[in-house]
Structure 1
Amino acid sequence: MTEFSNQFSRRKFLLTVGASAVGSVLLKGCLGNPPDFADTAQVQQVVAANISPEQAPETTRVKLGYIPIVESAPLIIAKEKGFFAKYGMADVELSKQASWGSARDNVEIGSAGGGIDGGQWQMPMPHLISEGVITKGNAKIPMYVLAQLITHGNGIAIASKWQGQGVDLKMAQGKGIVSQLKSAGTPFKAAHTFPHVNQDFWIRYWLAAGGIDPDRDINLMPVPSAQTVANMKTGTMDAFSTGDPWPYRIVKDKIGYMAALTAEIWKNHPEEYFAMRADWVDKNPKATKALLKGIMEAQQWLDNFDNRQEAAKILAGRNYFNLPVAILLEPFQGRYDMGDGRKIDDQSMAPLYWKDEKGSVSYPYKSHDLWFITESIRWGFLPQDYLTKAKAVIDQVNREDIWREAAKEAGIAAADIPTSTSRGVETFFDGIKFDPENPTAYLKSLQIKRVKA
């Protein structure tokens, strides 16, 4: 073994041992009483002893926003299991956001103004915030996409009254039902959690694949995740696109069923991402990589299915999701009772955080950014000529280079570090393909769209 390998192995051993001590201190603070002064000093001593000088973060403090759905799990687990602290980020504050709109508003003002420095995002929110498309006064707040947090973990939930009537994955008879409701002046009502981002895209893609125009044939609106169950109970909503645990909770409460998992619509699809304000990253490059290392380790821990029961208990806690552990357990294992007699038992359909059948989940492929922007153009959320500048915007916002640096510093195997910024051609459940080398061909292949292509 070379001298470098010996030093690296020793340092990795020290980091692992240190993480155990840090983790025990943090768990006291996060799950019980706040740590006392002695505990804080212990954290600092452990961190100082195990972080090499060249990788020591510029700050140990950061404020990250999250929404209580399974996409946030890597952030929560990195905090609770001591993975952030292991790499020197001992003062990570996780701030629960009331909605995606709140997260956007809070990242605009930053932690210095009482907001957040970054956190969990639907795509392409970081690009839209950077470009000033969805900010107050169209102010441009540059952001960097740093990692993908998860694949899968979303679904399309349908009110019980439509069970057995063909409102399902392929919408066998659903188009006729939607047409009748539209003619009667009582259009089918569906919701997502924020406009012009991925949970909006999932339900739009599903509807359009079934021949239903989401802008003209139904009433589609944004509703915060936490209101999905309440709205379904009162009968004011026919369908929802949202993240676990909400669709599954609708099934357990016997007020609806699952027409589709997004894993069925697009297997191994990109879901939500970790992104930060660019000014924070530029000021704290080592701290940024320390956060990424903690997230990567949390993602690997989560993808050990032996850990999923413990993960469910942590996430379900009062400080985070505040719901029964049972609501998370089965979906976390890839076991879905769809509520209509259909059952799925397949770990590859579960939320995945580190690896899926195509390879890396954590690495932020630029080709996926391009799909989100192309889909935005499809629905008229961005002008058609935006496609000509999409690559430049993606190159500015997507910092996969920082992910690579962090992965190498963390000792991630070369085989787990993608060599291309493109994952290649993507295939959807209706046979449509997206080739990142020719997004215009994808737009041309779509029957329902707002763009002329």
Structure 2
Amino acid sequence: MKDILSTGMQRRKLLKAGGSLALFAAARSLLPGGAYAAAAGPETTKATLGFIALTDSAPLIVAKEKGLFAKYGMPDVEVVKQASWGTTRDNLVLGSQGNGIDGAHILTPMPYLISTGKVTQNNQPLPMVILARLNLDAQGISVAASYKDLRVGTDAGVLKEAFAKKKAEGAPAKAAMTFPGGTHDLWIRYWLAAGGIDPDKDLETIVVPPPQMVANMKVGTMDCFCVGEPWNAQLVNQGIGYTALNTAELWANHPEKSFALRADWVEKNPLATKALLMAVLEAQQWADDMANKDELATIVGKRAWFNVPTTDIAGRLKGDYDYGLGRVDTASPHLMKFWRDNASYPFQSHEAWFLTENIRWGKFAPDTDVKALVSKVNREDIWRDAAKALGVAASDIPASTSRGPETFFDGKVFDPDSPQTYLASLDIKRFV
């Protein structure tokens, strides 16, 4: 395939590479496998996509900066910064016709929470579709410098006594995450609960937008937080706290952000949907190439995107982790993956885990039909079609929608074919 990335492609060959239900059905019937075989151009040249200043938004930024949206017939795509995940949700509800956005770099559970009306005004469902995963791994859980003597790591249990003391004194500890039911919420809850700390009873969880995490930790708003990069690295660089763990230490090669669009936009613009997705996939390949990491850090660090020094971005992008307190890991296998290890493919089994964890914490009812809901929101079939059109090798396209059973750092196993068995194995949860 001849394109602006042709030289890098040779290297990348080495990489493993109700009413709402009716709308979902309509979108699916319009877009069966192979629907993109037509040679016609996109129905529109424009889409408005949101992003949060997090390193895993890089594929959208690269697709814009490198002209990849234009390459696939979408020269008028706008990639627009969002202040918070709540803002992303609200702008998705508005849509571009209401001066909002058509799609976004997004926390993977959010399209499910939005599609079912769990987090929208008046609980009004807005059908969404997930088209790709944007990355695997490399979020962080960070702890305030006041806990440096505990040298907190994967075992959150070392905080239990300190948190109990704060609660007894009438000033409960606070754990910050970025959106209720989102990935960061689920990572920090899993970590705390595995250490015997109930995130709803033993401390308070609070919502803080990613770019505001470091400033809030500096003034003592929270005791620990979970967020993506570059904010964990910036915390360490400013001496305000330290990284307890990379979330890949909880679950190696775990799914993280997704690329999602409003279902009605996909229904109206199937060819433009394919064009957007092809641009994002090609950007993921470029971003995953180690030879491009310094340039990637420079691009996303620009004022227009993150407005963050490249020194806060480049190291962890390349797998060089300064956790603080003297711990430095180089060439870490837990670096952010954009393409290798099937990072881009949206495994339905992974979304089943996110839904199951949100059942655990009361966001969804225990009798939720996880498989049925995933089949409505997850459009891995569109991903396959776009990947084939892009020339992705058949060996780099997963044969199954499931990656199979997943094992976590504490020995728990999630089998996507038996989510209830997984839930029964968990000691701390919001239902019996």
Q: Structure 1 length normalisation: TM-score?
A: 0.87
Match of 2:177 in 1: 192
Match of 1:268 in 2: 253
Q: Is the 8 A contact 1:144 1:397 kept in 2?
A: yes
Task: Report the AA paired with residue 428 of structure 2.
Answer: I
How far does residue 123 in structure 1 lie from its aligned partner after superposition? Answer: 2.1
1:364 lines up with 2:364 in the alignment = no
| Unpaired segments ≥5 residues, structure 2 | 8-35
Mapped partners of 1:63, 1:300: distance in 2: 22
Equivalent runs, 1:32-431 vs 2, <5 Å: 54=39, 56-356=41-341, 360-386=342-368, 389-431=369-411
- SS of structure 2 residue aligned to 1:54: coil
Amino-acid identity (%): 51
Mapped partners of 2:184, 2:412: distance in 1: 19
- SS of structure 2 residue aligned to 1:442: helix
Task: Report the AA paired with residue 70 of structure 1.
Answer: T
Mapped partners of 1:233, 1:131: distance in 2: 36
Q: Which has the larger radius of gyration?
A: 1
Q: Kindly indicate whether structure 1 or structure 2 has the higher relative contact order, using CA contacts under 8 Å at least 6 residues apart.
A: 2
After TM superposition, the runs of 4+ consecutive aligned structure 1 residues lying more than 3 A away are 17-20
Task: Report the AA paired with residue 306 of structure 1.
Answer: A
Say if 1:18 and 1:366 are closer, same or farther in 2 by CA, change over 3 A: closer
Mapped partners of 1:17, 1:231: distance in 2: 42
Mapped partners of 1:220, 1:55: distance in 2: 50
How far does residue 336 in structure 1 lie from its aligned partner after superposition? Answer: 0.8
Mapped partners of 2:82, 2:221: distance in 1: 24
Q: Is the 8 A contact 1:228 1:246 kept in 2?
A: yes
Match of 2:31 in 1: none
- SS of structure 2 residue aligned to 1:392: helix
1:449 lines up with 2:413 in the alignment = no
Mapped partners of 2:216, 2:54: distance in 1: 18
| Unpaired segments ≥5 residues, structure 1 | 1-11, 21-50
Q: Is the 8 A contact 2:145 2:242 kept in 1?
A: yes
How far does residue 82 in structure 1 lie from its aligned partner after superposition? Answer: 1.5
- SS of structure 1 residue aligned to 2:402: coil
Mapped partners of 2:122, 2:103: distance in 1: 20
Task: Report the AA paired with residue 382 of structure 1.
Answer: F
Q: Is the 8 A contact 2:321 2:328 kept in 1?
A: yes
Mapped partners of 1:207, 1:108: distance in 2: 33
Mapped partners of 1:287, 1:100: distance in 2: 25
Q: Is the 8 A contact 1:371 1:436 kept in 2?
A: yes
Mapped partners of 2:394, 2:211: distance in 1: 40
Q: Is the 8 A contact 1:70 1:153 kept in 2?
A: no
Task: Report the AA paired with residue 275 of structure 2.
Answer: A
Mapped partners of 1:218, 1:378: distance in 2: 18
Mapped partners of 1:55, 1:339: distance in 2: 53
- SS of structure 1 residue aligned to 2:385: helix
Match of 1:9 in 2: none
Task: Report the AA paired with residue 373 of structure 1.
Answer: L
Deviations 1:212-237 (CA, angstroms, capped at 9, x unpaired): 00000011111111221111111221
Count of residues in correspondence between the two structures? 404
How far does residue 110 in structure 1 lie from its aligned partner after superposition? Answer: 0.3
Q: Is the 8 A contact 1:19 1:82 kept in 2?
A: no
- 2:416 pairs, out of 427, 433, 436, with 436
Deviations 1:124-154 (CA, angstroms, capped at 9, x unpaired): 1101111111111111111111000011131
How far does residue 167 in structure 1 lie from its aligned partner after superposition? Answer: 2.9
Task: Report the AA paired with residue 63 of structure 2.
Answer: A
Deviations 1:168-211 (CA, angstroms, capped at 9, x unpaired): 22135222222222222221111001111111001000100111
Mapped partners of 2:365, 2:229: distance in 1: 32
How far does residue 17 in structure 1 lie from its aligned partner after superposition? Answer: 6.0
Say if 1:105 and 1:17 are closer, same or farther in 2 by CA, change over 3 A: closer
Q: Is the 8 A contact 2:157 2:197 kept in 1?
A: no
Mapped partners of 2:4, 2:253: distance in 1: 34
Task: Report the AA paired with residue 149 of structure 2.
Answer: G
- SS of structure 2 residue aligned to 1:242: strand
What's the C-alpha RMSD, in Å, of the aligned pairs? 1.7
- SS of structure 2 residue aligned to 1:295: helix
How far does residue 88 in structure 1 lie from its aligned partner after superposition? Answer: 1.1
Mapped partners of 1:164, 1:67: distance in 2: 33
Mapped partners of 1:135, 1:244: distance in 2: 27
How far does residue 52 in structure 1 lie from its aligned partner after superposition? Answer: 9.9
How far does residue 164 in structure 1 lie from its aligned partner after superposition? Answer: 2.1
How far does residue 95 in structure 1 lie from its aligned partner after superposition? Answer: 0.8
- SS of structure 1 residue aligned to 2:39: helix
Mapped partners of 1:217, 1:392: distance in 2: 34
